[in-house]
Amino acid sequence: MNQIPDCQSAEGRAIDMARRVLRIEAQAVTDLVARIDDGFARAVALVLACHGRVVVSGIGKSGHVARKIAATLASTGTPAYFVHAAEAAHGDLGMITREDILIVLSNSGESDELLTIVPLVKREGGKLIAITGNPDSTLAREADVHLDAGVAEEACPLNLAPTASTTAALALGDALAVALLDARGFGAEDFARSHPGGALGRRLLTHVRDIMRAGEAVPKVSEGATLAEALLVVSRGGMGMTAVVDAGNRVLGIFTDGDLRRTLEKTENLKGTPVTQVMTRNPRSIGPERLAAEAAQMMEEHKISQVLVVEAGTLVGALNTHDLFRAKVI
């Protein structure tokens, strides 16, 4: 007669197994820290001196990791692409030139497919960086630089499935990519040029001038306006505020819905009260060349819904959170 499995026991075992895997993989990455030495610095120098491209290759699970490392390098300022080790031996090797650097990944360091192409690349004068789990392997010995990604054990309970070893290799590849990014002085706008699509590109490349309201779309009143006149402009402007400017269009202050609520607590004389008496002086402002993401950060930090766009003290535009939402900056 079939027994009903103990659900609580099964759940507990799954949780224990997950924690075990994470501990082993975390330790595998932590152990890499002590191995970052002059060899890592030489690898960075080799790539920086490369006049061609970085070609990353591997087979099996290491091949999947190699593909991701190539993508990370390419998106952080180091031209790189992935070549499958098996395909390289059947024609794709022609994609690699003597000006390129080959980075190969193999936990054993003895992958036949990689050992087939390495001598051909070396014969052409190409440089080789090997990331393996075995410093005494053939690939490690043949490499110009070897990076040790060895692990004490796999997270797989059978100690067979590539788990901790692939995590360690991936982390080492990320370390190489970030070190190269730093050495190149690769900045946020450089990164955005590699990621023009989606929210990332919008956040990094959209400037205030691209989405601000300008000209007649900016609610504003003169310094001689009354509170009643300011309220009409606030209502028509649809931004929950109006800027207050002098004759030269220089910003004197801002009058918002919040200012109105505070004013009504003190007076009901909307017609006779000058707006300059109830406005907020020295309001938050931002320049048109600043990033829209900075405007969003300013609004969040100071808990405001609008910001004036000012250049050399002169009002040139305005933004509110709705404008940022429409531009998909937030």
141-176 pLDDT, tens per residue?
A: 999 999 999 999 999 999 889 999 999 999 999 999
Termini Cα distance of the chain: 59
- In this prediction, residues 304-308 reach a mean pLDDT of 95
Nearest of 245, 266, 268 to residue 255 by alpha carbon: 245
Q: Which domains does the chain have, with CATH numbers?
A: 7-186 (3.40.50.10490), 208-326 (3.10.580.10)
pLDDT at 204 (0 to 100): 66
Tokens 């690898």 correspond to: 43
pLDDT band at 4 (very low <50, low <70, confident <90, very high): very low
What is the percent of the chain where pLDDT is above 70? Answer: 90
pLDDT at 194 (0 to 100): 61
Q: Which amino acid is at 278?
A: V
pLDDT at 98 (0 to 100): 82
- 309 to each of 92, 99, 294, 305, how far by Cα in Å? 54, 49, 12, 13
Q: What is the pLDDT of residues 290-305, one digit of tens each?
A: 989 899 999 999 999 9
pLDDT at 261 (0 to 100): 87
Taking 60 as the threshold, does the pLDDT of residue 197 lie above it?
no
pLDDT at 234 (0 to 100): 93
Residue 314 three-state SS? strand
pLDDT at 1 (0 to 100): 42
Least confident of 28-37, 221-230, 259-268: 259-268
- In this prediction, residues 185-208 reach a mean pLDDT of 67
- In this prediction, residues 87-100 reach a mean pLDDT of 72
Give, for 180, the enclosing helix (H) or strand (E): helix 164-184
pLDDT band at 86 (very low <50, low <70, confident <90, very high): confident
The tokens describing 233, both together, are 């402009």
The answer to pTM > 0.85 is: no
- Look at 124 and 83; give whichever has higher pLDDT: 83
Tell me the pLDDT of the chain averaged across its residues: 89
